Chains A and B, each alone.
Chain A
Amino acid sequence: MKYMIMTFGSAAGAVEAMGKEWMRDMIAFMHKLDDDLRKSGELVSEEGLADGSTAKTVRFVNGQPVPTDGPFAEAKEALVGYWIVDVESEARAIEIASRITAYVKAPIEVRRVMDAPPDY
């Protein structure tokens, strides 16, 4: 079963907040994680996203789509990256997420990707 593991935050604020060393270790950690997931045959895809402050939202205004800046007032809450993994169980997806959480010390969201066979 496939899960999306999502990480939130702000790339722009991170360097100032945590320092250069931390950023360097963080990048090494992410590389190692991707590598481990690739080797275990579980990684479907992973991407990092540009900072939430660069996002555009297309809204439906006065009967037509209009692009606007944003949407995130609180940059901390923006999606900054995700992994899609194909794992044996939800427990395994949570295990992977826990490894990330333990390192970044921020919440990581785990969500099932809709592709399961019906049970009958």
Chain B
Amino acid sequence: MSRRRSRCAGSWTRHPTTKVLDRHIEDLLREVAPQVLGALVRRYGQFDACEDAVQDALLSAARQWPEQGVPDNPRSWLMTVASRRLVDRWRSDSARRRREESFATLELAGQGQPSDQDDTLSLLFLCCHPALSAPSQLALTLRAVGGLTTAQIARAFLVPEATMAQRISRAKERIKGTGVPFGMPPAAERGERLRVVLQVLYLIFNEGYTTSSGPEGLRADLTTEAIRLARMLLQLVPNEGEVAGLLALMLLTDARRAARTLDDGSLVPLAEQRRGLWNRGQIEEGVALLTRTLGKRVVGPYQLQAAIAAIHDEAATAAETDWLQILALYDVLEQVSPGPVVTLNRAVAVAMVNGPRAGLAVLGTLDEDERMEHNHRLEAVRGHLLELAGDAVAARDAYRRAARMTASIPEQRYLALRAARLA
């Protein structure tokens, strides 16, 4: 667990204004950050003030620990420093009314003694609150749960730090506005709220998985961070099959990272990737997770997608891919979570099993689907299947249409090259 995290920690600090932190210290800080924040919010209420206080405490630790050594109890050190910051803030707060409010929340504290685990989970639910926009959910989760600084998050998303700071403070205001109490969502809402949390983690992962722009190291670190958070979430809710499924999906997808692009940034399709570059350790871990989960928990889209990724990852060569099994999984996926993207992917599996014309027929069912109107992947897959069917002219046109529709530079180049090859 710590191996992967430390790889991430090393690069997050790779910027000129912060000196490179001892890996061990950064790992430790980011592991206890949500526990400290969760405990503070539970005790004092006021998520936004607590969040600022914890960030201050983390910065103090990052400055002091490398020189003075790590305290015996890092968690209580951070709790003490953050609490002091909170009190300072309240003291300097001249509005009497607000002080009284703080006092009132103080009095509410101490009812029951939830564990660190509960606090961290409550924090995740809070940051992924449905009242927030997706960009706000991502930013807040990375800061409050991931323990990243605003500057790090801003760099990863390629926006100015001031913009990210505003986004985070707005999200915190919004949370204050909703008036939701800190704690677990009611049982009836829990499934849906967990679904949002998983979606946020998956979005963070995908944001990092792109190599299309920005400093590559930072983007890749988002992927690593998403995996770290999914791992943490699985520890908190070990019996949720979809959490295990999402973690497995991330591991099995990220395992191909090194083979997915060439040095010049151009994309390599799955069938042409050098499989020796795939990360075997990650594949084994993902497969083991799936084996433990599939059939024992309620099946869901993440588990099924992970199972499909696993079949790809386990094939020694592209030609040895078990497409029959992949097709069977897509059939189930289409039942469990139907949608145009699933149909699109299923069309490829149909083509590999029953021939390109059969795949093209499945694609045809999407032509009238409004949701796919501006989706370049429909045309890209059509181009691929037409090429397999031997229709070079139609394939070229489809690739060209796809190239015009995509918003990703590497994909645009890939598709343009594909079209040029057939010209």
Binding site for B on A (CB under 8 A): 1-2, 38-45, 86-88, 112-120
Contact = CB atoms under 8 A, between A and B. Distances in A.
Contacts of B410: 118
Contacts of B209: 117-118
Interface of B: 133-136, 139, 157-160, 162-170, 206-207, 209-210, 212-214, 267, 341, 375, 377, 406-412
B210 A116 contact: yes
Contact of B135 (A86, A114, A116, A119): A86
B162 A39 contact: no
Contact of A41 (B136, B214, B411, B412): B136
A45 B159 CA distance: 9
A116 B133 contact: no
A40 B410 CA distance: 30
Contacts of A119: 341, 375, 377
Contacts of B135: 41, 86-88
Contact of A43 (B139, B163, B267, B375): B163
A87 B169 CA distance: 16
Contacts of B341: 119
A49 to B, nearest CB: 20
Interface hub of A38, A88, A113, A117 (most chain B Cβ within 10 A): A117
Given A44-B160, A45-B160, A88-B133, A117 B207 contact: yes
Contact of B408 (A38, A42, A86, A116): A116
B405 to A, nearest CB: 10
Nearest to B267: A118
Contact of B134 (A40, A43, A45, A88): A88
17 contacts: A39-B166, A40-B170, A41-B135, A41-B167, A41-B168, A43-B163, A44-B160, A114-B407, A116-B210, A116-B408, A117-B207, A117-B209, A118-B212, A118-B408, A118-B411, A119-B341, A119-B377
A109 to B, nearest CB: 16
A57 B194 CA distance: 55
A41 B170 contact: yes
Nearest to B170: A41
B206 A117 contact: yes
A115 B134 CA distance: 17
Contacts of A2: 158
A86 B163 contact: yes
Given A40-B170, A86-B135, A115 B214 contact: yes
B407 A115 contact: yes
Contacts of B411: 118
A96 to B, nearest CB: 14
A40 B166 contact: yes
Contacts of B165: 41
Contacts of A41: 135-136, 139, 163-170
A40 B174 CA distance: 11
Nearest to A3: B407
A112 B209 CA distance: 20
A10 B162 CA distance: 31
Given A38-B163, A38-B166, A39-B170, A114 B409 contact: yes
B166 A115 contact: no
A114 B403 CA distance: 12
Nearest to B411: A118
Contacts of B162: 38
B346 to A, nearest CB: 14
Contacts of A87: 135
